[in-house]
Structure 1
Amino acid sequence: MRQTSMVRPGPESAQRKDERPGQAGAPISFGHVSHNFIHGDRAVLVLEDFDLDIAASEFVSIVGPSGCGKTTALSMAGGLERPRAGSVLLDGEPVDGTSDDVAFMFARDALLPWRRVRRNVELGMEVRHVPAAERRRRADEWLRRVRLEEFADSDVLHLSQGMRQRVAIARTLVQSPRVVLMDEPFAALDAQTRANQQQEFVRLWEAERPTVVFVTHDLEEAILLSDRVVLMAARPGRIVADLRIDLPRPRTQEMRTSSPEFAKYLETLSGRLREEVVAAEERRQAEEERA
């Protein structure tokens, strides 16, 4: 059995090394993954012994210092990168390229400006050769669900950033993916719009329940949205904490300031993250001295 420290806030909680929540029926499994990139004449180790199982319908956030390999891990789950060592499995099978069961959502909405709103939502279905009438039906249904049905024929360039992100959410979920990989999807939004989009996405996720892997630098966002928060070490990335978030759903933005449990989770993660940021800076200085 693989082992990862399970951390719960509060002095009464011990680290648990005998439990991996995602082992039973895990649709995504990273098995002792290590990976490096070649920069000039040297190899830079990005991930080292990254070991993680994510269960069906779980919402798991990955946090950690910049450059620790969060996006690399996400890319491997989606078949965009292959590990140098170890394994990445989807439903028990090695990930070998992209899959119709896996959808991506990034910080920028990446809408096509020459397509109107409905046609942007239809894009993935069009690539998969879904008949036109079915594409339109499903696109209109999802535009209704993200409360944009009246803008179906609008030019995307005339939408606010928050509305554009809702179009991107509809384009992602209209394909009924079993796994959604999200790389800081709300980072470019202002604070109020970001809060609204977080609530909107969780509402839709709770109805559909795909497995979500969510990369973010925002610890409060991770706690508010997730079933688990995985904290990675400074490069080379590995898991140093796996924190189950036992807050009731539905969750509200007010929990950030009103919930003592939320505050404990934040204190635990903030402390560990500070340690990793300091370690990253010390490593950077050491590398500069050796250069």
Structure 2
Amino acid sequence: MRQTSTVRPGPESAQRIEEPGAPIAFRNVSHNFIHGKRAVLVLEEFDLEIGASEFVSIVGPSGCGKTTALSMAGGLERPRHGRVLLDGRPCDGTSDDVAFMFARDALLPWRRVRRNVELGMEVRRVPAAERRRRADEWLRRVRLEEFADSDVLHLSQGMRQRVAIARTLVQSPRVVLMDEPFAALDAQTRANQQQEFARLWEAERPTVVFVTHDLEEAILLSDRVVLMAARPGRIVADLRIDLPRPRTQEMRTQSPDFAGYLETLSGRLREEVAAAEERRQAEGERA
């Protein structure tokens, strides 16, 4: 098991991002938002580089800025300070190369399964025959081909999430941004969806940035797990996960390395939560 500390990027890494091997980079990003009459610092000196085809999970205490960072990577939000780069260029808006997936599947109830999968392709004006061919191929890959003409309201939550996965990946995005996509599922369904998505990712290998509160989920799926400090968010650990693929749920209980990664991340996370509580108490006393 090998732990990799976060390294602040210098001039060499700023040039390296221009190469195809590093599609996403945060450069000294700080960001705040206005709460009432005061500015709340969400991210501070946030530096992160994610390579092509990497699966990187971001974990940390609630409110540390994980989702804010994800939104910036997708061009939905701009940092107050610093730069977010996509393929070496400022990420100033959404891109056809980037897809999102969230905790809620956001399927359209008036569309049947196949039509939901086709939605993004319709927006891009893909011809109808090609849309149908690609949608049917992805429904086969997520093992839902027999439900192509079904009403989405009649599907189980796990099946709906598989439709959402197909809708996300059917457009062959180079980057997939995921914000707790399995959080709303029960434990067994969640485990099944983790395995299903890992299988599909290993075949396609898009770059994935995955936000989760579940440390075991992060270890099971990821090449790296990045731990953020409590607000203001910054990176305090960057752990490379050297577990063989394909990975299985049995690794949670049978792999000593898995247990070691979990112990490391759990310990650091407890430290961050405790430090955040101390800061809150100190601020309360000063007030």
TM-score, normalised relative to structure 1: 0.92
User: In 2 relative to 1, CA 111–117 (structure 1 residues): closer, same or farther, beyond 3 Å?
Assistant: same
Aligned to 2:136: 140
User: In 2 relative to 1, CA 10–209 (structure 1 residues): closer, same or farther, beyond 3 Å?
Assistant: same
Cα deviation, residue 281, structure 1:
1.6
User: In 2 relative to 1, CA 20–136 (structure 1 residues): closer, same or farther, beyond 3 Å?
Assistant: closer
User: In 2 relative to 1, CA 133–122 (structure 1 residues): closer, same or farther, beyond 3 Å?
Assistant: same
Q: Deviations over 1:223-252 (max 9, x none)?
A: 000000000001000000000000000110
Asked if the contact 2:29–2:46 (Cα under 8 Å) also holds between the matched residues in 1, the reply is: yes
Aligned to 1:269: 265
Distance 2:273 2:146 in 1: 46
Q: Deviations over 1:120-151 (max 9, x none)?
A: 00000001111111111100000000000000
Distance 1:191 1:150 in 2: 25
| Secondary structure of residue in 1 paired with 2:12 | coil
Cα deviation, residue 282, structure 1:
1.8
Q: Deviations over 1:178-205 (max 9, x none)?
A: 0000000000000000000000001000
User: In 2 relative to 1, CA 11–242 (structure 1 residues): closer, same or farther, beyond 3 Å?
Assistant: farther
User: In 2 relative to 1, CA 28–135 (structure 1 residues): closer, same or farther, beyond 3 Å?
Assistant: same
User: In 2 relative to 1, CA 190–50 (structure 1 residues): closer, same or farther, beyond 3 Å?
Assistant: same
User: In 2 relative to 1, CA 76–13 (structure 1 residues): closer, same or farther, beyond 3 Å?
Assistant: closer
Distance 1:105 1:123 in 2: 14
User: In 2 relative to 1, CA 2–238 (structure 1 residues): closer, same or farther, beyond 3 Å?
Assistant: farther
Cα deviation, residue 284, structure 1:
2.4
Cα deviation, residue 272, structure 1:
0.2
Hey, which bits of structure 1, 4+ residues long, moved more than 3 A?
Answer: 1-4, 6-16, 287-291
Asked if the contact 1:8–1:14 (Cα under 8 Å) also holds between the matched residues in 2, the reply is: no
| Secondary structure of residue in 2 paired with 1:12 | helix
Once the two structures are superposed, the pairs formed by residues 213-252 of structure 1 within 5 Å of their partners are 213-252=209-248
Distance 1:48 1:4 in 2: 20
Q: Percent identity?
A: 93
User: In 2 relative to 1, CA 188–285 (structure 1 residues): closer, same or farther, beyond 3 Å?
Assistant: same
**Greater displacement, 6-15 / 201-210:** 6-15
Asked if the contact 1:37–1:46 (Cα under 8 Å) also holds between the matched residues in 2, the reply is: yes
User: In 2 relative to 1, CA 4–50 (structure 1 residues): closer, same or farther, beyond 3 Å?
Assistant: farther
Cα deviation, residue 2, structure 1:
20
**Greater displacement, 224-233 / 2-11:** 2-11
User: In 2 relative to 1, CA 9–26 (structure 1 residues): closer, same or farther, beyond 3 Å?
Assistant: closer
For structure 1, the residue ranges without an aligned partner over 5 or more in a row are: none
Asked if the contact 1:59–1:227 (Cα under 8 Å) also holds between the matched residues in 2, the reply is: yes
Asked if the contact 1:9–1:264 (Cα under 8 Å) also holds between the matched residues in 2, the reply is: no
Aligned to 1:3: 3
Asked if the contact 1:2–1:51 (Cα under 8 Å) also holds between the matched residues in 2, the reply is: no
Q: Deviations over 1:68-107 (max 9, x none)?
A: 0000000000000000000000000000110000000000
Q: Deviations over 1:138-174 (max 9, x none)?
A: 0000000000000001000000000000000000000
Cα deviation, residue 3, structure 1:
14
**Greater displacement, 231-240 / 278-287:** 278-287
Asked if the contact 1:8–1:243 (Cα under 8 Å) also holds between the matched residues in 2, the reply is: no
User: In 2 relative to 1, CA 3–93 (structure 1 residues): closer, same or farther, beyond 3 Å?
Assistant: farther
Distance 2:10 2:76 in 1: 39
User: In 2 relative to 1, CA 46–59 (structure 1 residues): closer, same or farther, beyond 3 Å?
Assistant: same
User: In 2 relative to 1, CA 145–163 (structure 1 residues): closer, same or farther, beyond 3 Å?
Assistant: same
User: In 2 relative to 1, CA 247–3 (structure 1 residues): closer, same or farther, beyond 3 Å?
Assistant: closer
Count of residue correspondences: 286
User: In 2 relative to 1, CA 116–147 (structure 1 residues): closer, same or farther, beyond 3 Å?
Assistant: same
Asked if the contact 2:2–2:242 (Cα under 8 Å) also holds between the matched residues in 1, the reply is: no
User: In 2 relative to 1, CA 49–144 (structure 1 residues): closer, same or farther, beyond 3 Å?
Assistant: same
Q: Deviations over 1:33-58 (max 9, x none)?
A: 00001001000000000000000000
Cα deviation, residue 268, structure 1:
0.4
User: In 2 relative to 1, CA 78–14 (structure 1 residues): closer, same or farther, beyond 3 Å?
Assistant: closer
User: In 2 relative to 1, CA 143–126 (structure 1 residues): closer, same or farther, beyond 3 Å?
Assistant: same
Q: Deviations over 1:270-291 (max 9, x none)?
A: 0000000111222222333344
Aligned to 1:20: 19
Distance 2:127 2:13 in 1: 54
Distance 1:13 1:263 in 2: 32
Cα deviation, residue 4, structure 1:
7.8
